[in-house]
Amino acid sequence: MKVTRHQTAPAMATGAPPARKPKTSAAQRRAVLLFVAPFGLLFLAFYAVPIVFAVVQSLLTVERKGTFGPPQQVFGGFVQYQQVFQNTEFWESVGRVLLFGVVQVPVMLGLALLFALLLDSPLLKGKKFFRLAFFAPYAVPGVIAAIMWGFLYSPSLSPFGAVTSQVNFLSADLVLWAIANIVTWVYVGYNMLIIYSSLLAIPTEIYEAAKLDGASNLQIAWRIKIPLVVPAIILTGVFSIIGTLQLLAEPQTLRSFSSAISSTFTPNLAVYTTASVPNYSLAAAFSVVLALATFVLSFVFLKATQRKVSQ
């Protein structure tokens, strides 16, 4: 009998049979498919299929046969994308939300981190009340929040008339930052909860060792807590970048309060207005370009922050 080098010889030397991979039974495979099927169906129906439909729609154009012929959609290639890159109003809206994000996102995440550290501090009393107070604005829908703040900003309707009569928050110069205030008020509690959950996952032994070394609460927060919750801050940063480029409800609602907000004030508002014309193909091209820009910005931010963390 010939002994093979890798299998039979070790098995004969140790007296044990060769290791075998456990076989997955048909019942186990069916169980896995059963649990995965709901997610897969919802993913296909509400994510994959709409994306494919939008891409296909963006490649179509409308033509008429004759002067009075009915409009027909035909394949137009990249005609719609040429219009997208020639549309100055759309790119102005992109620049506007990028400026919005550069200022609003760091302020919002800074407040979220500060509130999370306060909730995790042993010096704060009434943590349950403050946790609810910080998170409560997130329970208010964006449209309702925009209507509420629209009345607060309006000089003739605001209960703070002494302030709004002197400063017009709905003017062309300040309306973008008025929207930033609304978004920050709504979402700072949501981001705080993510960071606070990350703080709760830190072992208490680390804090006890730091206190034995003579570290103060401020030193523990700066040198231990903040570095350990950087992944949570990066996660909220990615969410905030995506949300910034998807800004729609707040500016659309405030249009009834301010004439400074145009129909193309943000990219999503431009997509909505274009689809209402209706020009679905151009709106789909806007959406595809906006989705790609969101992906690129999120990916670059994620890679840049990961590189800094690894260093």
Indicate whether 2 pLDDT > 50: no
Structure tokens at 85: 């890159």
Structure tokens at 292: 């790609």
DSSP 69: P
Structure tokens at 213: 């070394």
Structure tokens at 229: 């919750």
Which H or E run contains 135?
helix 127-135
Identify residue 188 by its one-letter amino acid code.
Answer: V
Indicate whether 153 pLDDT > 70: yes
Confidence of residue 126 (pLDDT cuts 50, 70, 90): confident
Percent over 70 (pLDDT), the chain? 90
Question: What is residue 307's predicted lDDT score, i.e. its pLDDT?
Answer: 77
Indicate whether 55 pLDDT > 90: yes
